[in-house]
């Protein structure tokens, strides 16, 4: 009988605990998690503009959406949220879901307030339509174009991959016809037409586009962001004993570190943000290209960019630079300045945000960052190649003239 009594007590306690668990957190809980309440929203806002939502129980982090489209939240408190409307949407209620996954019950509808038909305009049409190349149109509010028609072919446009100043559509390699107008249909239903344009195959080999300079340090700013846990370094413009590169202007960035404790130590970064962004669309084969001098040691950095809120990054390896000595650590230049070039679509093969996006070599980049790290750095002992893989307590890095180039720079110092 004692055994059955103890068993009954254990089962009873287990059931009681389970019941408490469900009562605390289940559907029958007596806890009243706050529900967002919307009191007011900015009246008659323009599409793509920031709106202010006031109310209560906005428990961060909140998500805000309209017409099933997520909006970017720029600031939030318990009583006020600022968020950015999408550029194209159908009139619908504003929906807020707070940290407790509760949703507001108010039916406050926002209708899209689009620019007029005259304010959606193309100022620059392409000279020709090339098969297998991006078709680019520049103007005002051109991201409000929903369809592009060339001859008998119509392309649907996803506004989220466009910008108000630039409309892009990749042309298929088998596009039919020898000439056509470009006909754009906007979200208002009106159309915009180009003149009749020739349709041709893309040039092969392509003619490289002009280089696009990202950083040259002629402003004598290092653009350096220090690491939180490392301070054994000097970063400066120019350094005694290292003359600027012949084609590199008067100033360059110099970073020397010592007493590095372990591989993968984050030593700092060089970071520049661009507004509205660096446009890659016209490049046939975009590369990042820069001048590099490792003095009497070796150095390394990861290369990363931010594109539409997503961070992509990677490493300099033989697969990205076509140089067998760029094996995670950059080559030893033995005091000479050398060009380093890496194909963007190859080096930016990692998504560091983790949202599933892939790098678009025809898109905009908003931030460029050189992340200084010591990665499996074999100490360079004066020979052509690096030594065995062990922690190199030093890193020396001099860089200048960081470009986007249409293809690699193949030689130093005379050209591309």
- Tell me what pLDDT residue 204 has: 76
The model's confidence at residue 376, banded by pLDDT at 50, 70 and 90, is low
Q: Is the pLDDT of residue 5 over 80?
A: no
- 80-84 and 50-56 as β-strands: parallel, antiparallel, unpaired? antiparallel
Does 105 share its domain with 53?
Answer: yes
Q: Are 337 and 284 contained in the same domain?
A: yes
Q: Which residue has the tokens 């005379």?
A: 414
The domain that holds 168 is classified in CATH as: 2.60.40.10
Average confidence (pLDDT) over 31-55:
94
State the Cα–Cα distance between residues 90 and 114, nearest whole angstrom: 11
The answer to whether residues 105 and 197 belong to one domain is no
Least confident of 22-31, 105-114, 119-128, 314-323: 22-31
Same domain (yes/no): 144, 55: no
Tell whether 394 and 259 lie within a shared domain.
yes
Which pLDDT belongs to residue 323?
Answer: 84
- Evaluate whether residue 138 is within a structural domain: yes
SS3 track for 283-330? CCCEEEEEEEECCCCCCCEEEEEEECCEEEEECCCHHHHCCCCCECEC
* Residue 172 domain-assigned (yes or no): yes
Q: Which percentage of the chain shows pLDDT scores above 70?
A: 87
Domain end call among 58, 90, 110: 110
Please give the residue range of the domain that contains residue 84: 37-110
Q: Of 80-94, 293-307, 311-325, where does the model show the most confidence?
A: 80-94
pLDDT at 4: 41
28: in domain? no
Q: Is residue 312 part of a domain?
A: yes
Looking at 110, 128, 158, which one is the last position of a domain? Answer: 110
What is the number of structural domains in the chain?
Answer: 3
From CA 154, how far away is CA 140, in angstroms rounded?
22
334: pLDDT strictly greater than 80:
yes
Exposure b/e, 393-412, CB count within 10 A at least 16 = b: ebbbbbbbbbbbbbbbbeeb
Closest alpha carbon to 187 in 109, 89, 43, 50: 89
- Rounded-to-integer distance, Cα 350 and Cα 252, Å: 29
Q: Do 353 and 299 fall into the same domain?
A: yes
Q: In which band, very low, low, confident or very high, does the pLDDT at 410 lie, cut at 50, 70 and 90?
A: low
Distance (Å) of CA 281 to CA 157, 175, 398: 16, 20, 30
* Confidence tier at 3 by pLDDT (50, 70, 90): very low
Are both 125 and 92 inside the same structural domain? no
237-276 pLDDT, tens digit per residue, is 999 999 998 877 899 999 998 888 777 788 999 999 998 7
pLDDT digit string (tens) for 192-230? 999 999 999 988 777 788 899 999 999 999 999 999 888
Domain check: are 147 and 239 in the same one?
Answer: no
For residue 76, pLDDT over 80 is answered with yes
Residues 396 and 290 in one domain: yes
Final residue belonging to a domain, choices 90, 110, 130: 110
The position carrying tokens 């992509």 is: 312
């Amino acid at each position: 009988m004692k055994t059955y009594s103890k068993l009954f007590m254990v089962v009873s306690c287990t059931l009681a605990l389970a019941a408490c668990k469900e009562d605390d957190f289940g559907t029958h809980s007596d806890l009243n998690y706050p529900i967002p309440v919307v009191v007011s929203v900015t009246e008659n806002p323009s599409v793509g503009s920031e709106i202010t939502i006031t109310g209560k129980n906005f428990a961060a982090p909140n998500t805000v959406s309209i017409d099933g489209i997520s909006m970017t939240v720029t600031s939030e408190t318990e009583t006020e949220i600022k968020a950015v409307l999408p550029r194209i949407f159908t009139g619908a209620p504003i929906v807020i879901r707070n940290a407790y996954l509760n949703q507001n019950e108010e039916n406050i509808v926002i209708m899209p307030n689009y620019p007029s038909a005259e304010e959606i305009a193309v100022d620059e049409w392409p000279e020709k339509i090339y098969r297998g190349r991006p078709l680019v149109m520049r103007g005002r509010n051109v991201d409000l174009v929903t369809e592009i028609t060339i001859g008998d072919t119509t392309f649907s446009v996803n506004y989220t991959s466009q910008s108000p100043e630039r409309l892009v559509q990749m042309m298929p390699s088998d596009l039919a016809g020898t000439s056509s107008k470009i006909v754009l249909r906007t979200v208002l239903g009106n159309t915009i037409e180009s003149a009749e344009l020739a349709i041709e195959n893309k040039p092969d080999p392509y003619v490289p586009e002009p280089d696009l300079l990202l950083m040259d340090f002629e402003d004598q700013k290092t653009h350096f962001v220090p690491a939180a846990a490392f301070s054994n370094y000097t970063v400066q413009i120019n350094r005694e004993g290292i003359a600027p590169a012949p084609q590199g202007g008067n100033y360059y960035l110099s970073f020397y570190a010592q007493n590095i404790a372990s591989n993968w130590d984050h030593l700092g970064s060089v970071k520049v943000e661009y507004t509205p962004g660096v446009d890659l669309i016209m490049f046939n084969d975009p590369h990042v290209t820069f001048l590099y001098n490792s003095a009497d040691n070796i150095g390394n950095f990861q290369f990363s960019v931010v594109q539409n809120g997503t961070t992509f990054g990677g490493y300099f390896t033989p697969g990205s630079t076509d140089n067998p000595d760029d094996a995670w650590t950059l080559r030893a230049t033995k005091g000479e300045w050398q060009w380093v070039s890496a194909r963007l679509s190859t080096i930016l093969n990692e998504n560091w945000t983790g949202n599933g996006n892939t790098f678009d070599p025809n898109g905009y980049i908003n931030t460029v960052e050189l992340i200084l790290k010591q990665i499996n750095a074999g100490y360079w002992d004066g020979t052509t190649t690096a030594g065995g893989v062990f922690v190199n307590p030093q890193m020396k890095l001099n860089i200048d003239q960081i470009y986007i180039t249409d293809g690699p720079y193949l030689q130093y110092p005379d050209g591309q």
